[in-house]
Amino acid sequence: MDLGIAGKWALVCAASKGLGKGCATALVREGVNVVITARGAEALEATAAELRKLNAAVQVRAVAGDITSEAGRSVALAAAPQVDILVNNAGGPPPGDFRDWRRENWLAAVEANMITPIELIRLTVDAMAERGFGRVVNITSSAVKAPIDFLGLSNGARSGLTGFVAGTARQARLASRNVTINNLLPGSFDTDRLRSGFSAVSAKSGQPLEAVMEARRKMIPAARFGTPDEFGAYCAWLCSQQASFVTGQNLLTDGGQYPGTY
């Protein structure tokens, strides 16, 4: 299927590896020019080089910086002539117990996983509406639908973003101008973040890493973890011309792990 987005410009945040990289890869395959960001310049440049090899017809710009800071967002936005597609992403908050978290822990989580995407939406969507095309995909988490107790910072901050998107995506001045805003909710995807979580469980419990991973795999009806490429393909479709009637949705991709009917 031709997604009809070749030649568009995308800002894909937090994309030197993992799910963000999966999204950038799928968009580049579709002929979309991308600005990718991450804090670590070396890994980011290596990813940019990989993306350029995938499709010589597109421009790939790498901007090192912390997307959760105003300065990081400014340089990222300045690197694209326009933003037709915005993929919001950042590192997730740390696990833990709410009894140990203080105001500054909550503010950091809200800054990274709620205010950062809201700010980037604010700075891009009205221009998208003027041009009559815009796609925003926020990478959130399955924890928004099925909370995970030790990820309280994530459950809370991402729920704030989810509520904001539910209202904003339905504004007529956006939806009627072909600007969609959706949240893509990953279950368990095989990325460094997932593996570092398993390593921590393994170290704490004394169980071998492979046993910890196998126990988690068994909880997924698909009996495996998702891949960043699968996640990216879903993201690229949400950014397509064909997806113009999909907005304000929370879309799970989790191999069937969420146990609810709705």
Residues that bind ligand NAP (CB under 6 A): 14-20, 37-40, 43, 66-68, 89-92, 139, 141, 186, 188-189, 191-194
How far is it, in rounded angstroms, from Cα 257 to Cα 132? 36
Minimum gap (Å) between residue 133 Cβ and ligand NAP = 26
Minimum CB separation of residue 7 from ligand NAP in Å reads: 25
Residue 149 · residue 108 · CB < 8 Å: no
Residue tagged 């996640």 (tokens): 231
Which of 70/206 has CB closer to ligand NAP?
70
Give the separation between CA 151 and CA 14, rounded to whole angstroms. 20
Q: Which is nearer to ligand NAP, 26 or 174 (CB)?
A: 26
Task: Name the minimum Å distance from CB 107 to ligand NAP.
Answer: 14
Query: Which CB atom, from 43 or from 166, has the smaller least distance to ligand NAP?
Result: 43
The nearest distance, CB 247 to ligand NAP, in angstroms, is 21
What are the φ/ψ torsions at residue 64 (nearest 5 degrees)?
-80, 135
Cβ-based neighbour number of residue 253 at 10 Å: 19
204, containing H or E segment: helix 192-205
CB of 254 to ligand NAP, least distance (A): 9
Name residues whose C-beta falls within 8 Å of residue 30's C-beta, 6 or more positions apart in sequence: 3, 5, 6, 236, 240
Cβ proximity to ligand NAP, 179 vs 188, nearer residue? 188
CB of 115 to ligand NAP, least distance (A): 12
238: phi then psi, degrees, rounded to nearest 5: -60, -25
Beta carbon nearer to ligand NAP, 178 or 249: 249
What six digits make up the tokens of 48?
């940019």
Report yes or no: 12 and 89 within 8 Å, Cβ to Cβ: yes
Q: Which is nearer to ligand NAP, 24 or 179 (CB)?
A: 24
Residue number with CB closer to ligand NAP (181 or 185):
185
- Residue 164 CA to its chain's centroid (Å): 16
Q: Rounded to whole angstroms, how far apart are CA atoms 185 and 130?
A: 28
Output the smallest distance, CB 243 to ligand NAP, in A.
Answer: 20
